[in-house]
Homo-oligomer: A and B are copies of this chain.
Amino acid sequence: MQTPWEYRYAHRMQKMGSSVIRELLKLTEQPDIISFGGGLPAPEVFPVKEFKEACNIVLDTLGAQALQYGTTEGYTPLREMIARHTRRYGIQVEAGNICITSGSQQALDFMGRLFLNRGDYIVVESPTYLGALQAWNAYGAQYISVPSDENGMIVDELEKALRIGPKFIYILPNFQNPSGSTLTLERRLKLVELADRYGVPIIEDDPYGQLRFEGEHLPSVALLDSQYRQDNGTYTGNVIYLSTFSKLLSPGLRLAWVIAPEQVTRKIVMTKQAADLHTATFNQIVAYEVGKGGFLDEHVKVIRATYKERRDAMLETMDEIFPSEVRWTRPQGGMFLWGILPDWMDATELFKTAIDKKVAFVPGAAFHPNGGGKNTMRLNFSYCSPDAIREGITRLGLLLREEVAKGARQKYLYE
């Protein structure tokens, strides 16, 4: 029976089918499956002790404030702390450039609300972050995919995309989700220059930048842009920069931030007021209490060491077991790597067989807004223990060997 509500859905919602990814991820929740499917931080690195101490201090000293309504832009000391952190990397921002959001997903949603009209184009890397596509699909976005390789977006292909007239460029320059690739300095500079030439602004999504466990830190696109544009001490940039506490502290707090020119930040704050008034006061004050003494600088080293060990376990096992027909990225940080199967192989079909073998990943097709990527897969290395990683990758590698052998036989039969 249809309820009176159901025949009143607006048109936009009828198109919102259940996400294939979500259905797949449900299958991976069986307890005996080793899942490289999700995008979860290692729970072992959550600083539960420090967080608990901070909760107690905050409730003892600021209880009434922490449980009360707060301002829409966010808790000022937290915004100032983020501004100081950002200035360490050379970007000239103040608290007035920063709005706290309920996770980066909310920031992506606000970008859609603020800037998109139905049918607007967005330039994205292919593959790109699924959550951004979900956020912007709701606003009727269309996508111009620029191909990428192990060094990120192939910026030489960007110029023709910009001539289509996109509203903005969306890029994850560090240890990209899903591919694990990092945009080289040369490509960053070219990106900044092209975006400026065509007057197309950039959204830089940087949840993983701090999680580099080898190689040199690269300057953010936001910094390179403000240098290129010779911004003078205030942030008037062509780049809106997003980052989050989800990977450094805890995703369960839903705490992230947007950095934008001050006038744009004011619009974001007005958008947020209508959307959810403000992000939880208590969470913001506790995050400030955890972070204010420099704890996160130390803590991130623990996270890096943990993730490096896990990535190494994954890469070593892949090197050992995976058939030579499969290729993959070797990310220097972050949480994901990207597998490219032989052209004829369908990762969604492989996923179903893998579930039977009690191992899971995410088929890569969903990360390609304009199709393609059927033979790709995302593997998360942050969540499982090194032992589970070795076991799961072995299962997957053996399966891949079987499939490659089967494929070779079929090729033989039909050629």
Contacts and interface: CB of A to CB of B under 8 A. Distances in A.
Interface of A: 1, 3-6, 8-13, 16, 18-19, 22, 38, 40-41, 43-44, 46, 48, 51-52, 55-56, 59-60, 63-70, 101-103, 105-106, 109, 113-117, 131, 134-135, 137-138, 167-168, 199-201, 236-238, 240, 246, 249-254, 260-261, 263-264, 267, 270-271, 273-283
B274 A138 contact: yes
Q: How many copies does the complex hold?
A: 2
B276 A109 contact: yes
B46 A63 contact: yes
Please provide the 5 A-B residue pairs with the shortest distance between their CB atoms, ordered closest to farther. A252-B281, A43-B64, A67-B250, A48-B63, A3-B261
A159 B268 CA distance: 39
A249 B16 CA distance: 34
Contact of A251 (B52, B55, B67, B138): B67
Contacts of A134: 273-274
Contacts of A167: 8
A255 B8 CA distance: 27
Contacts of A263: 3, 6
B13 A114 contact: yes
Contacts of A249: 67
A116 B282 CA distance: 33
Given A5-B261, A131-B277, A138-B271, 16 more contacts: A1-B236, A3-B261, A5-B240, A10-B115, A13-B267, A19-B270, A40-B68, A43-B64, A67-B249, A67-B253, A102-B279, A105-B274, A137-B274, A252-B280, A253-B280, A254-B278
